[in-house]
A = this chain, B = another copy of it.
C-alpha cells in the first residue's frame, strides 16, 4: 500500500509521500514515490505515484525519457499547460498498464496505478491533477483542495478538520505529518521515511524538499505530541452522563 497527499494552499503546493512498498506482507522495501522535474523560471512539476511498483517506475522512466528526448510533443517539459501534462502522463500510465497485460479494462488489472501530478507552468496558476489507471484525470479545486493516494481513510479526519487554504507551508507540513502518523500507526503497509516537496506559487523554481526518517526529531515531536494533545483534547470534552437519557 501507499499513502500520499498533494495539497493546494494559497501559498502554493505541498506534496508528501511515504516510501514503503510491499509484495505480500513479508516482502517490504523502501522506494521513492515522489519525483520532480523543472525548467527554471518556466515550470515546476511534482509527481507522486501509488499502485503496482513495476508500473509506476516504468511510467516515471518513460515520462523522464520523453522529457529528455528531442520530441517536444511528448515531453512534460514542453507541454503548454498542466492539463496537457496530465494528459501525457495519463497516456503513458494507461499504455504501460495495458502492455503489462491487463484482463478487461486497464483499471481493473493487477498492474494498476494512480498518480497525482501538480505544479505550475508560466502563464497558469498552480494546478494539481489526480490521474487514474484508465488515463483520465480530475483537477483539484477550492472544494477539493487535496488529493490522497493509497490508504486515505485513516489520515482523512484530521485533514477534513484542520485544512484551511491559508495554512502556511510550515502548518501544512505539520498537518500532513499528523495525517501520515495516524495512517502509519494503523496500516503496516504505509511506513517511514516520508518525502516532502514544496512548491511556492509564482516562483517557478523548485521549493525545499525533505525526507523525514523514523529518528527525525521533528517527526518524533509531532508523533508523540499528537498522541498527548489528542488525549488532552479528548479529556477536555464533557463525559457522557447516563442521567441525560
Interface residues of A (CB under 8 A from B): 151, 153-158, 160-162, 168-171, 173-175, 177-178, 182, 185-186, 208, 210, 217-218, 221-222, 225-227, 229-234, 236-242, 244-245
Q: Could you name 10 residue pairs across A and B whose Cβ atoms are closer than 8 Å?
A: A153-B154, A154-B154, A154-B156, A156-B186, A169-B240, A170-B239, A170-B240, A178-B237, A208-B242, A229-B234
Residue in B210, B233, B240 whose beta carbon sits within 8 Å of that of A218 in the complex = B240
A175 contact set on B, CB distance < 8 A: 234
Residue in B160, B217, B226, B231 whose beta carbon sits within 8 Å of that of A162 in the complex = B231
A222 contact set on B, CB distance < 8 A: 237-238
Question: How many monomers of this chain does the complex have?
Answer: 2
CB within 8 Å for A230 and B158 given contacts A221-B238, A239-B174: yes
Main SS class of interface, A: helix
CB within 8 Å for A174 and B230 given contacts A157-B182, A242-B208: no
CB nearest neighbor in B for A170: B239
Give the one of A154, A208, A222 with max B CB within 10 A.
A154
A169 contact set on B, CB distance < 8 A: 240, 242
Does A160 lie within 8 Å of B173, measured CB to CB?
no
CB nearest neighbor in B for A178: B234
Does A239 lie within 8 Å of B171, measured CB to CB?
yes
Does A173 lie within 8 Å of B227, measured CB to CB?
no
A177 contact set on B, CB distance < 8 A: 240
Does B245 lie within 8 Å of A221, measured CB to CB?
no
How far does the alpha carbon of A226 sit from the alpha carbon of B160 in the complex, in Å? 12
